[in-house]
Amino acid sequence: MAQLILTDSQDCPLSVTAKSRKGSVAQLQNITWESSDPAVLTVTQDPTDPSKALASAVTAGIVVISMKADADLTDGVVDIIGTLDVVVGAGQATVVEISAGTPVEQPAGSPGTSGEVIPS
């Protein structure tokens, strides 16, 4: 099974191609795309070409993207499903925040309380 690895700040274009048993390109109807957990990754189908979609990472996690379509080009319906495992990890650090606690008085006799110079 295929696997895609993204960071939580990435998008990835998706496309699907169906093939017959003999390897010829086969047509699909009524294609739909879905993420198993939209809180981790969303999938947006291309409004002009349903065989394409955009996967957008939201936060770290593991999801499965599913594509479902009708493989029967006549009046019947023959569902065909494809899946793609996706691992979304945290992105590279770009900002560092240093937090300071509440200042407190040093106890008497501690370095720096008697006017002495503390070497740096």
Q: What is the pLDDT of residues 69-120, one digit of tens each?
A: 998 777 888 889 999 999 999 988 888 999 999 999 998 876 665 556 666 6
Please report where in the chains the tokens 């770290």 appear, as a residue.
60
Q: Looking at the domain assignment, is residue 29 inside a domain?
A: yes
22-44 per-position pLDDT tens digit: 988 888 999 999 999 999 999 99
Q: Looking at the domain assignment, is residue 95 inside a domain?
A: no
Please count the structural domains in the chain.
1
Q: What is the CATH number of the domain that holds 39?
A: 2.60.40.3440
Q: Please tell me the pTM assigned to this model.
A: 0.75
The Cα 44–Cα 33 span in angstroms is 7
DSSP, collapsed to helix, strand or coil, labels residue 35 as: strand
Q: Looking at the domain assignment, is residue 44 inside a domain?
A: yes
